[in-house]
Structure 1
Amino acid sequence: MKIPKGAIIAVADGEILNLYRNNGEETAPKLTAMQDAAISTENKGSGGRHHSSSANPSDSQQEEDSFAAGTAAMLNKRVLDGEIEALIIVAAPRTLGELRKHYHKALLAILVGEISKDLTGHSIADVEKTIDAN
């Protein structure tokens, strides 16, 4: 997959979000790290009403879903505000599933691609290689 010039790349799991911008060309991407974004976890994700039980042994999954919902809300707002014109999302499989539940139609319109893989904590070179291979 090509990375359009100026595209934002969001790399997420249930706890971490890393944002990058392609300051290079589509044929020669150069990702640079962006400032961390504030993520609200007020939205308890799609499973906001469930509580810990034997079927759901901890609150950690609910917290991860809330983080994913907050990440989608932040990305939606930036798209609607015109701050993001092209977006690629690389996320852990479960996080990606939760993110998709919260995409705004405007975000879907500028979404270049999604990659279901956990690359948080990996180098920029690893992110570039993974996107290029998809």
Structure 2
Amino acid sequence: MANGVRLPHDAWVLVGDGRRALVFQNEGSPDKPRLVVQQVFEAPPNPSTAEQGTERPSRVVASGEGGSRRSAVEPTDWHEIAEARFARDVAAALCEASRAGRFDKLAVVAPPKTLAELRDAFDDPVKKKIVGEVDKTLTKHPVAEIERLLAG
């Protein structure tokens, strides 16, 4: 696998982002992976921010010695919240699969933000099964290209 990590036979590979996740099992070898889909996760539709909340950020008035100041409050990023929730849901499903003994080794491929969310959400038994991480977005790549990239 890329970055010097070898993908053992029967290891699972999670390829995900904030909207989609694919779980594969390597039925090949570390040098020539053959990924077979085990499960596909799709996030529910995520409407525009305007449909989910306010468009304009609220304002805060702070008064002090120099009078009062107004400043904008960061608007809530509903898409970011939905993507974090999706990553936690995927992690929970993998934690359950781990408890059921469905895999012994796991590689995780995701963009940095999703990778961080997954790391936070995995329980200790799953964390101990992780054989490698790759910070790339590969969810829209064909399986053959994912295999090629993981084989290095």
> 2:145 maps to what in 1?
126
Which deviations, in whole Å up to 9, do the C-alpha atoms of 1:82-122 show, x marking residues without a partner? 01111000011110111111111101111111111111110
Are the counterparts in 1 of residues 20 and 42 from structure 2 also a CA contact under 8 Å?
A: no
The answer on 1:69 being equivalent to 2:96 is no
Alignment of 1:1-134 (within 5 A): 1-37=5-41, 53=57, 54-133=73-152
TM-score in terms of structure 1 length: 0.81
Aligned residues: 123
Q: Distance in 2 between matches of 1:57 and 1:12?
A: 24
Q: Which has the higher strand share?
A: 2
Structure 2 gap ranges (5+): 45-52, 58-72
Tell me the CA shift for residue 126 of structure 1: 2.3
Q: Distance in 2 between matches of 1:99 and 1:67?
A: 10
Bigger shift: residues 6-15 or 28-37: 28-37
Q: Distance in 1 between matches of 2:89 and 2:80?
A: 14
> 1:44 maps to what in 2?
none
Q: Secondary structure at the match of 1:2?
A: coil
Structure 1 gap ranges (5+): 41-50
Q: Which has the larger radius of gyration?
A: 2
RMSD, aligned CA: 2.2
